Amino acid sequence: MDLQIAAVLLPLLGWAVHGSVLAHRLASARRDPLTGLHTRAGWTARAEHCIRRHPTAAVLLIDLDHFKTLNDTHGHAAGDAALAATADRLRTWCGRHGTAGRLGGDEFVAVVQDLTAANLDVLTAALNRPLHHSGRSLPLAASVGVCRVTELPVPLLTDALAAADAAMYAAKGRGRRGSRLSH
């Protein structure tokens, strides 16, 4: 009888281990390895859920200003530190009422349940605070575009991202280091 139990349990144990490894790989694929933020796929699923459940949701698109210059002047380690610091500041601002992600390069996204409660000025100040790296204070700045989902004819994430992108470029056009709501 013990041999029969072992014959049944060993394959089940193998499948359990295999399933665990696959689940870990899937979770890793949905997280950016440098920042720990959700990748586009992981963030998109959460953002769509937030938009469906919270009519006062807002979508933000964040782009670091002068990132290439920072990276080229102070090195890739400083650039990585800037990306990680931006991710930490964005994650902290979102808290339990939103989700942050990294699209790639120096572009980040966020969705929050209610922009008024989240306080956009606090985020803008955090993203524009200098970064302390290797004993130096490095300038860190970001342009933020925001779209309140209530401003859209139909609350679709793709439309909210497009509006936030346009608002972000308008913020860059104003001299950077700021935020702008879509209109």
User: Catalytic amino acids?
Assistant: 106
Closest CA to 60 of 115, 105, 97: 115
Cα angle, residue 84 at apex, residues 82 and 88 outer, rounded to 5°? 115
Sorted by sequence, the CB contacts under 8 Å of residue 130 that are 6+ apart come out as 137, 138, 139, 140
Pairing of strands 178-181, 142-148: parallel
